[in-house]
Amino acid sequence: MQDAGIVVRRDGPLMRIVIDRPAKRNAINKPMYEAMISAFAQADADEDIRSIVVSSAGGDFTAGNDLEDFRRPLDNLHEFPALRFVRALAALQTPIVAAVVGDAVGVGVTMLFHCDLVYASHGARFKMPFVDLGVIPEAASTLLVPQRIGLVKATEFMLLCESFGASEALRLGVVNAVAGFDEVEEMALDAARKLAAKPRAALAATRRLLRGDTAAVAARLEEEAALFAAALSMRETRARLEAFFAGVTEAAS
C-alpha cells in the first residue's frame, strides 16, 4: 500500500514502512505522518505482525518535518499530525527497527531514540537543527538524548545544532551497527526477523522494562510540544523560517 509518500507492505511477520518522497529528500508532511500513525495502529492490532522496519527510498533517510507545515502557527496543537506521530511512536507496542542512509534531520533523528534497533550507512549524517530554526526539539528528545549519549554531547548536538556522522553515532550508542549503503536495509530486516521469531510475551515484557518510565517520556513529549507551538508564534522564529524558505527559493532559481 502506498499513501502520500509512505509505502507500507507486509513481508511475512514484518511490516515494512518506507519513507518515499525522494524529490523532497523524504521530508515528512502531514499526510505522511497520518499514514505512519495508521500503520502503527494496524501493527499493534494485528498479532501476525511481529516487528516493523522503517527505511527510506533514495539517498536520504529524511530531511525531517516538511517546514511548509510550520509556515503558520498551529491551530490545534493536540490534533497536529507530527505530534500525534511521536505520541504513537512512543506508545508503540510492536518492536521497531530503523535503517538509516544519508541524511537524518530533525524528527529523522529524534524518532530513532524510540526505535528498538537502529542501523546506519557509513555515509549517514545526523542533525537536530531545532534551535537554529527557533523551535524546540520534539519526541521527548530533550529527555532521551541526554540519557542515551550523555549531557555533554547532547548539549553540543542540540544547542549548537552540530551534525555528526555514523561512526560517532555508533560510538555514542545512537545506532547498533554501521554498514555499506546497500547493506543497511537488509541488516535491519535480518534483525527484525530475529525479533519476530522471539517468544512474544517475553519480548514484550523485556522491551517494556528496558524502556523504563514511559510516563516521564509522555510528560516531556507534551511539554516540548507546547513550547514548540508557542515558538511558532514568535517573531524571531517566523523570521528564521521565512529566511529558510527564501534560501530554498533562491537555490531553486
**In which band, very low, low, confident or very high, does the pLDDT at 76 lie, cut at 50, 70 and 90?**
confident
**pLDDT digits 0-9 by tens, 137-157:** 999 999 999 999 999 999 999
Neighbours of 90 (CB within 10 A): 19
- The three state secondary structure string of the chain is CEECCEEEEEECCEEEEEECCHHHCCCECHHHHHHHHHHHHHHHHCCCCCEEEEEECCCCCECCECHHHHCCCCCCHHHCHHHHHHHHHHHCCCCEEEEECCEEECHHHHHHHHCCEEEEECCCEEECCCHHHCCCCCCCHHHHHHHHHCHHHHHHHHHCCCCEEHHHHHHHCCCCEEECCCCHHHHHHHHHHHHHCCCHHHHHHHHHHHHCCHHHHHHHHHHHHHHHHHHCCCHHHHHHHHHHHHHHHHHHC
If one counts every other C-beta atom within 10 angstroms of the C-beta of residue 30, the result is 16
Cβ-based neighbours of 151, under 8 Å, separated by 6 or more: none
Going by their DSSP bridges, the two strands 164-165 and 125-127 should be labelled as antiparallel
C-alpha distance from residue 56 to each of 16, 40, 251 (Å): 10, 17, 24
| pLDDT tens per residue across span 109-130 | 999 999 999 999 999 999 999 9
pLDDT at 79 over 90: no
How far apart (Å, rounded) are the C-alpha atoms in residues 232 and 234? 6
- What whole-number distance in Å separates Cα of residue 14 and Cα of residue 242? 41
Give the chain's domain count: 1
| Cell numbers given for 189 | 530486516
Q: What's the confidence (pLDDT) of residue 248?
A: 59
Residue 142, φ and ψ in degrees, nearest 5? -70, -15
Q: Which CATH number covers residue 248?
A: 3.90.226.10
- Cα–Cα distance measured from residue 77 to residue 61, given in angstroms and rounded to the nearest whole number: 26
Q: What pLDDT is stored for residue 251 in this prediction?
A: 42
Please say if the pLDDT value at position 253 is more than 60.
no
Range of the domain at 102: 2-252
- Give which of 196, 43, 189 is closest to 179, Cα–Cα: 189
- Average pLDDT for residues 43-57, to the nearest whole number? 98
Q: Which three cell numbers stand for residue 251?
A: 537555490
pLDDT, tens digit, 9 for 90 and up, residues 4-36? 799 999 999 999 999 999 999 999 999 999 999
Instruction: Note the pLDDT of residue 252.
Output: 41
